[in-house]
């Protein structure tokens, strides 16, 4: 997990993020194969969403930007919207695990790349 003060500095700096998502088409195909015999359940399941167990089978890493930051009553950052085309919600404890900032090696003054909490930008 990335500490709050470093996370705040990264957000102010405007870095892009590499985040965990899932391939919706492949997950939906797997769900349809599971419920192939029950056509009525497929329509119902599409409204309910795809179960997390199926999403875990089709994980992909995407690159996106920060869309918004949400604060709690103590005025601390706790929820973030990150994405490219569609935004996903992430929480403070997800940074360094499910969300990793993309940094140049020269800008990494806290050695986040060396610790595995960030990804090196190779432009």
Dump pLDDT digits (tens) for 43-98.
555 556 788 888 999 999 999 999 999 999 999 999 999 999 999 999 999 999 99
> Residues 69-76: contacts with CB within 8 Å, 24+ apart?
69/11, 76/4
Distance between CA 80 and CA 78 in Å, rounded? 7
Q: Which domain holds residue 102?
A: 4-120
Does 123 score more than 80 pLDDT? Answer: no
pTM: 0.80
Tens digits of residue pLDDT in 16-44: 999 999 998 999 888 888 877 566 555 55
Q: Which of 115, 121, 74, 73 is CA-nearest to residue 97?
A: 115
Please give the tally of structural domains in the chain: 1
Does 14 score more than 70 pLDDT? Answer: yes
Cα 47 to the center of its chain, rounded Å: 22
């Amino acid at each position: 997990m990335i500490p709050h003060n470093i996370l705040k500095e990264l957000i102010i700096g405007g870095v892009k993020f590499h985040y965990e998502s899932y391939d919706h088409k492949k997950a939906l195909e797997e769900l349809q194969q599971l419920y192939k015999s029950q056509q009525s359940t497929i329509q119902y399941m599409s409204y309910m969403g795809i179960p997390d167990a199926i999403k875990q089978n089709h994980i992909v890493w995407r690159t996106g930007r920060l869309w918004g930051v949400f604060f709690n009553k103590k005025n601390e950052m706790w929820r973030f919207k990150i994405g490219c085309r569609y935004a996903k919600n992430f929480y403070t404890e997800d940074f360094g695990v499910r969300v990793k900032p993309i940094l140049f090696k020269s800008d990494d003054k806290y050695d986040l790349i060396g610790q595995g909490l960030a990804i090196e930008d190779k432009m």
